[in-house]
Amino acid sequence: MIGYVTLGTNDLERGARFYDALANELGTGRMMEWPGAIAWGTPGGSPGIGLTKPFDGNAASVGNGVMVALEAKDRDQVRRLHAIALENGGICEGPPGPRGEGFYAAYFRDPDGNKLNAFLMEGGATA
């Protein structure tokens, strides 16, 4: 159902470094780029993520209650994505760990304050 998600930025170059690093760990890269915006993902693959300066010219701001979730292949990748986010200007919103039965996740914000998480659905395993 979801084709892509777009988040706002006030510094595209800084945000690009953050999302390039995450995309690399997820095995994808930039799929579109134009002045003021970049999109990451694989055409015909899972939903992508875009980063853009707001079209109306106003400052980008975060949505209260808005979060983008990045599906990881295993717990190690959840931990790596969280570490990569923090190494590239992100802020920890919750370290990697179990978040209920069968759900393992880590939460972080990008350099503009947009909230993301890396997660894994484990089919009931909570080890």
Residue 70 domain flag: yes
- On the 0-12 / 13-18 / 19+ scale of CB atoms within 10 A, 58 is exposed
Over residues 2-49, the pLDDT tens digits come to 899 999 999 999 999 999 999 999 999 999 999 999 999 999 889 999
Residue type, 95: P
Over residues 54-64, the pLDDT tens digits come to 999 999 999 99
Residue of 28, 39, 7, 21 lying closest to 113 (CA atoms) = 7
State the total domains in the chain. 1
Residue 49 domain flag: yes
Q: Are the beta carbons of 117 and 67 closer than 8 angstroms? A: yes
Residue 58 domain flag: no
Which domain range does residue 29 map to?
4-53+66-121
CATH code of residue 110: 3.10.180.10
Against a cut of 0.95, is the pTM above it? no
